[in-house]
A and B are shown apart, each in its own frame.
Chain A
Amino acid sequence: MLPLVSSLRRLNVLVFSILALLQATANAQLTIEITGAGGNRIPVAIADFGGEASAGRVVTSVIRGDLERSGLFRMIDTGGVALSEASAPAFDEWRSRGADALAAGSIGESADGRKEARFRLYDVNKASALAGSAFVTSKPMLRAAGHRIADIIYEKLTGEPGIFSTRIAYVVKVSSTRYELHIADADGQNEQVALISKEPIISPSWSPDGTRLAYVSFENKKPVVYVHSLASGKRIVVANFKGSNSAPAWSPDGRKLAVVLSKDGGSQIFTVNADGSGVQRLTSSPAINTEPAFSPDGQSVYFTSDQGGSPQIYRIAAGGGEAQRVSFEGSYNVTPRLSPDGKSMAFISRREGSFRLSVMDLANKQVQVLTDSHKDESPTFAPNGRMILIATEQGGRGVLSAVSIDGRIKQRLSVSAGDVREPAWGPFNK
């Protein structure tokens, strides 16, 4: 697939793809495609960085790609002019090109042979610097440096933290006898395989510190909950009771997990310490209670229950008590996920026979259906709360799609081989 060339101004639809240059790792490369973008995008010029040209191209292309993909920025043509952070920009000229903001920088070599990425961001209209920074990096880490610079630009220009340096996890069904748990950068690059199994893997959930993933693995012919340390590959069994063990969700302090166990009959929500000790039952209705999700303040657990006859979303105090019903519209509302600010809830709602990503404003219970797709599942918020990543289906294959919380920006991520499903967006990279 070749990158598409499109006119931003006329189409207001932007489609591009990122392809791996290296054949060796191209087997499961993610392609990202954007359909639809925000209305009032900030015009930004990212000048070609000075210094080492090839390294500069990597960094500037990462910055441009990140900002462009967010749907919040419009890239201003820079005419191929290299501009380092040390040179004085001709603000009048950038103003006439329509740029509100301009970034310039350079890649140099530090004394110990490592790379140094420097940049500065300017407010073109005020002709003043907004931000500047330098990172000591290395050749393999140039992309990471680009993501960090994009995060700084994003934050300076939108007032919200950027998520370009975060990571995502997802499951690839390569075949019916090969399942892989992958970790990639938020732009789908730098994909790494954390787990390979002959049996399914579902429900990955990042620990709040971003070092571990909890998930359900069927490698023992039944669902068992594991916590997997990504750097070391060390895995611990958190819940392997008689019956099914599933749906792990971390408490915000990272000490506990809510899990669903069938050991006492039916499917009930329990909490368990992250090392597998201290199992306590949370829900007690005779119905199905599953898909727990802690509120960001740790005070409540949202979950799916059929206690009212159809699957609906309920909330219970994290210490237990009476459950309160949260969703009312329609006969199938499942998979609650709270926004990082705790003010809204993403979930999947069945509408006209299709499963669609929806968002509820928890203050006024207003529901907005964000997609017109057929088979959305597993919503997961970006840590800045701007986008929701979901699994959906396109042409009979599982793909990932990121949707802005107002539904206006949609990005699609797909791997070239296999079904992709079960996304989980990691926390800010501290």
Chain B
Amino acid sequence: MKQLLIPAVLALLLAACGSTPESPDSGGGAPVESRGAPGSVTTVTTGGVESRGLPAVLTDPKSILSKRSVYFDFDSYEVKAEYKDLVTAHAKFLNDNRQFKMLIQGNTDERGSREYNLALGQKRADAIKRMLALLGVREDQIESVSLGEEKPKDEGHNETAWAQNRRGDMLYSGEF
């Protein structure tokens, strides 16, 4: 039996490491090329996005406008008939309030490649955006983006969770 305990000593600080390749003595082996030490890394913390208050009509649970999510079937990128009233209500609000802007975030379930899922989420957001545009909402009021599988509403790993995550969310400026 052979023990393979590797005592790990962490470099707390990465000082610059000068490298002077040379032969240990005159008859020594080949010198090795000088290579720079791994540089130190500066930690950056991102800023957040501040939320603002919204008019009650957009947040009152009794108002249809407080509902913001459109759910999609597996492998589907079409807005289902049951969401027509919801999207139409938001289109009307945007048409009546041209100063408001909307960010539509498309989402997918967790299966598959992150970047490919980002593209699939984009298709869902685009479908909602297209519908709003057909209902008269101006192009400069709406932006469709994708969060792919990165922001699951339900973090589970089953069909119930996946169905929650195949979704498009409509957010108003102030909420994003």
Contacts and interface: CB of A to CB of B under 8 A. Distances in A.
A61 interface: yes
Interface stretch (A239-247, A321-329, A409-417): A239-247
Contact of A131 (B8, B25, B29, B48): B29
A77 B2 contact: yes
Contact of B32 (A152, A202, A235, A242): A152
Contacts of A246: 115, 118
Contact of A138 (B17, B41, B118): B17
A176 B2 CA distance: 42
A230 to B, nearest CB: 5
Interface in B86-142: 103, 105, 111-116, 118-120, 122-123, 126
Interface residues of A, number: 107
Interface in A397-430: 422, 429-430
Nearest to A242: B143
B6 A64 contact: yes
Contacts of A356: none
A220 interface: yes
A267 B112 contact: no
A334 B24 contact: no
Contacts of B18: 114, 136-137
A140 B15 contact: yes
Contacts of A176: 155
B36 A230 contact: no
B24 A85 contact: yes
Contacts of B20: 134-136
B30 A131 contact: yes
Contact of A7 (B2, B9, B115, B123): B2
B4 interface: yes
Q: B interface, how many residues as a size bin? A: 35 or more
Nearest to A65: B6
B44 A219 contact: no
Interface in A178-193: 183, 185, 189-190, 192-193
23 contacts: A6-B4, A16-B4, A16-B5, A21-B7, A22-B10, A64-B6, A68-B4, A121-B29, A133-B23, A133-B29, A133-B30, A135-B21, A136-B17, A144-B17, A144-B38, A167-B38, A195-B45, A202-B114, A219-B48, A355-B111, A355-B113, A377-B114, A378-B114
Interface of A: 3-8, 14, 16, 18-22, 25, 57-58, 61-62, 64-65, 68, 75, 77, 85-86, 114, 118-121, 129-138, 140-145, 148, 152, 165, 167, 176, 183, 185, 189-190, 192-200, 202-203, 211, 217-223, 228, 230-233, 235, 242-244, 246-247, 260, 262, 265-267, 288, 290-291, 304, 311, 332, 334-335, 348, 350, 355, 377-378, 396, 422, 429-430
Interface of B: 1-15, 17-25, 28-32, 35-49, 103, 105, 111-116, 118-120, 122-123, 126, 143-148, 150-151, 155, 157, 171, 176
Given A121-B29, A202-B115, A267-B118, 20 more contacts: A21-B7, A61-B6, A64-B6, A85-B24, A114-B18, A133-B23, A134-B20, A134-B24, A141-B11, A142-B11, A176-B155, A196-B45, A197-B45, A200-B147, A218-B150, A219-B47, A230-B41, A266-B123, A267-B119, A332-B112
